[in-house]
Structure 1
């Protein structure tokens, strides 16, 4: 009976989200800030930045990590390699171990499409297309959770997952076109793989996907976006303005609302999607959302809106630009800011603390650290060409071009 009640309440919540008054939400005002971008210094959001060379040995060398596949929790860094295994380092850059349990056996993972490390860095959960396998980060097997097989979930594929209270597993669905199962944006499993809750995919999102041709849908991003904050999991459904949160009691609430206003994609006909998005005056969330106790960090495709483009060199060495803007939202003041790019091949927050390259996170830990990395060659060359701190110069002087990556660790403000 309780499960039925929870599901009914969830359905009511989702269907009523659009009717909630703006004043009742933490509104992120995108529309009102178009054309008002500025450069942002790292010191505005951070207490410190550290550049930590990773130990270079035959066993520890990481090469080029998979895109956006680094995790940092409780002073341990996990870097996923292209062979679906992990190199683990501590916060001083010392190599700890290689984690590799890939295989077809009953206690092995098939692939590492999705990875979650708990806030203690003691448990690593690895999701593939068929299950989630959990281990201690020392390598000991814990358990396997097989995805449920039931008629209502036929055709459902999963792209991301989050864990609540080490007990509930929130699996966000992968929605690419109208042939996918459009019934749910996420399902929640308990620790023994039982479905305890299904979260409906919003009607307006379903209508958007269904009316858009398969060719044009390639220009859209209807897949639910999942990210974690503390002991809650957040979900943003496609182009829905609302970001919902699920807590350890399976209570669902709308925690943020993205005010796209006249720049929302639904203001344009579906024919617009089949042409270049760069030519269109609408905002499109690009990539992940990263949340800390005080800030949300996001990127947007900005089309032909009056926001500065990111300029970079492509693989051929040609200078090109892309209509992509970084941004951040201060949860405590309600202020949203589009961030101007700050030079060729640089975007994000200007490092005014050590003089290094602009910074943008690939991960935010549960204890308030943002992390990214830079290769040794680029680090050395940057020190030669820019006015950097003595600390930065000293690190560069101790590196060789062929050394391991340098971890960039930023301690966020909590005020």
Structure 2
């Protein structure tokens, strides 16, 4: 399984997960149940060599054409690295870091895109599919030629991410509205054949995600938005909804099913949390971030353990009023072994830094920002 992580202006990182995590092994023990309660308080430092066979730091070629803006997204497909930046272009490099070309069709013409919210690469033909912030999806072939346009699939929603599987799209989205003096949030994941034909859909409502308070004489709204994050692993899409203790899957026919159930036990979060309860770092309940990664052998997860976190990361943060405040990060990474059915929280390999201990090449602690789809 190959994995890319952006680690600097001119360096990319390639991970090869251990051969033990690949193959046709079946009969994964305890698959479907993630016992969070039993794992709390039993974390350990996990070395990268325990889950990966190699790591490569790839210097990217620098020339006038390959100059990058702020990095927005990274994909890896068929030996090529694709990097989108704040200029809404996509730079393509070889696996060795040699610059190939830059793709950009920015504009307001009928075959152009206005911006890039996120993008996908077709692993079969190298085509690029772009999701605009407006919700439009535009397909191009490997040479950058326009193929087709899907207008906004859900005109009433804000589309956040998408993946392609088989011959349909899967998108994650959210909507906001006011209901009885409260802000109502609707989150969802929808599988579309096209804008008129929905294969399946999963959605949930939340009323407790906003706090309004006065800052320097102005009323400011603070929102807790944790919409579903889509990952594609082989021929299946998976996602988490923050209000559900479940990791869902969508197969190649568009069917949604429960894949993993999280058991929190005495660390279960209260139902219908308000903003302050969710952000209270002194509470003794755990919640799971909707952003996660999957390999053939592992799920890489990110929990907010609050008062249960064994090690805090302390930072100063500048608020809306411009004042610096002291904040504590109580998030803890975890790795779930699908074969053994075990969950292990990762202790910090270096104080103030989360991730795996990079013991293969002696680099900085590592945690992925992207994983490939091939397994």
Q: Which residue of 1 aligns with 2:329?
A: 322
Q: Residue 325 and residue 184 in structure 1: after superposition, are their counterparts in 2 closer, same or farther (change >3 A)?
A: closer
Q: Residue 294 and residue 186 in structure 1: after superposition, are their counterparts in 2 closer, same or farther (change >3 A)?
A: same
Q: Aligned-pair distance for 1:114?
A: 2.1
Structure 2: give runs of 5+ residues left out of the alignment: 1-28, 214-220, 319-324
8 Å CA contact 2:171, 2:190 repeated in 1? yes
Q: What TM-score, normalized to structure 1?
A: 0.72
- Superposed, 1:16-415 pairs within 5 Å as 26-66=32-72, 69-120=73-124, 122-128=126-132, 129-148=134-153, 155-165=156-166, 167-175=167-175, 185-190=188-193, 192-202=194-204, 206=205, 209-210=206-207, 214-215=211-212, 218=222, 220-266=224-270, 269-270=273-274, 272-273=276-277, 276-286=279-289, 288-310=291-313, 321-344=328-351, 346-368=353-375
8 Å CA contact 2:269, 2:287 repeated in 1? yes
Q: Aligned-pair distance for 1:264?
A: 2.8
User: How many Å separate the matches in 2 of 1:33 and 1:176?
Assistant: 36
Q: Residue 181 and residue 101 in structure 1: after superposition, are their counterparts in 2 closer, same or farther (change >3 A)?
A: farther
Q: Aligned-pair distance for 1:271?
A: 6.4
8 Å CA contact 2:165, 2:252 repeated in 1? yes
Q: Residue 64 and residue 121 in structure 1: after superposition, are their counterparts in 2 closer, same or farther (change >3 A)?
A: farther
Q: Residue 75 and residue 263 in structure 1: after superposition, are their counterparts in 2 closer, same or farther (change >3 A)?
A: same
CA deviation profile, 1:96-144 (whole Å, cap 9, x unmatched): 1111112111111121112112224602111122310011233111111
Q: Which residue of 2 aligns with 1:395?
A: none
User: How many Å separate the matches in 2 of 1:143 and 1:255?
Assistant: 33
8 Å CA contact 2:226, 2:289 repeated in 1? no
User: How many Å separate the matches in 2 of 1:240 and 1:278?
Assistant: 21
Structure 1: give runs of 5+ residues left out of the alignment: 1-22, 369-415
Superposition RMSD in Å: 3.1
Q: Aligned-pair distance for 1:224?
A: 2.5
Q: Which residue of 1 aligns with 2:15?
A: none
SS in 1 for 2:307: coil
Q: Residue 183 and residue 213 in structure 1: after superposition, are their counterparts in 2 closer, same or farther (change >3 A)?
A: closer
Q: What TM-score, normalized to structure 2?
A: 0.79
Structure number having the greater helix percentage = 1
8 Å CA contact 1:311, 1:344 repeated in 2? no
Q: Aligned-pair distance for 1:211?
A: 5.1
User: How many Å separate the matches in 1 of 2:236 and 2:295?
Assistant: 12
Q: Residue 183 and residue 351 in structure 1: after superposition, are their counterparts in 2 closer, same or farther (change >3 A)?
A: closer
Question: For structure 1, which segment, 211-220 or 31-40, has the greater mean C-alpha deviation from structure 2 after superposition?
Answer: 211-220
Q: Which residue of 1 aligns with 2:5?
A: none
User: How many Å separate the matches in 1 of 2:57 and 2:100?
Assistant: 18
